[in-house]
Amino acid sequence: MLQDYKLEIGFDNCSYDSPYLVEGCANSCITLIIDSEKFPTLQSKKNVQEELQNVIKAELAKIKWIIYNDVNLEFFWYFSCLRKKESDKIGDLDNLIKPIIDTFSGCNGIFIDDSQIGSINSLWMSRDVSSSRNSILKLCIHFNNDDCCIKENMRFVQIEKQMYAVPQIRN
């Protein structure tokens, strides 16, 4: 059964085309808000994880630049308090974030490798049951926009399991 994911993206001092909008202001943030009945965990079947990953990847593919230095991630989960505390229908936070983090790295991602993650903060709060039946994730990706480059100017080389960015040299 296909899961219905509603994704919204927001930008703070950046856009699809540029890692910064205000000259001299080095802080930028991308915010993803995902509304879903259920989020996959690390233990979910691969095809279930890939449904959410494909929704996120489709949005990230529109971004024309990539971060090549540290990023900081904040996960704000809004769950039904009853479902989170009194059942096993919602996974542990650490198992929920891994399938999502995997979508951010690589040549079509927002950063090169998950080793660039400087910090991960994850917390859950009880959601307003009158606004939605679903669980909601607000994910903020904070970064220094001085550490970004346009994707078309980069080439990626994978050696064993590591991926490296190599700037394209033009004649």
136 inside domain: yes
Q: What is the reported pLDDT for 129?
A: 64
Residues 120, 123, 124, CA angle at the centre, nearest 5°?
Answer: 150
Q: What is the reported pLDDT for 169?
A: 61
**Residue 44 pLDDT level (bands cut at 50, 70, 90):** confident
61 inside domain: yes
CATH number at residue 136: 3.30.1330.70
pLDDT at residue 79 is higher than 60 = yes
Q: What is the reported pLDDT for 38?
A: 84
**Residue 15 pLDDT level (bands cut at 50, 70, 90):** very high
125 inside domain: yes
Average pLDDT score over residue span 55-70: 95
Structure-derived torsion over alpha carbons of residues 52, 15, 134, 123, reported in degrees to the nearest 10: 90
Beta pairing partners, 140: 31, 74
96 inside domain: yes
**Residue 111 pLDDT level (bands cut at 50, 70, 90):** very high
Burial of residue 108 (CB within 10 Å: 0-12, 13-18, 19+) is middle
26 inside domain: yes
Q: In the numeric block, which tokens belong to residue 90?
A: 């919602």
Structurally, the chain folds into a number of domains equal to 1
**Residue 30 pLDDT level (bands cut at 50, 70, 90):** very high
108 inside domain: yes
How far does Cα 11 stand from its chain's mean position? 13
pLDDT at residue 131 is higher than 80 = no
112 inside domain: yes
> In which domain, by residue range, is 65 found?
6-167
1 inside domain: no
Q: What is the reported pLDDT for 154?
A: 78
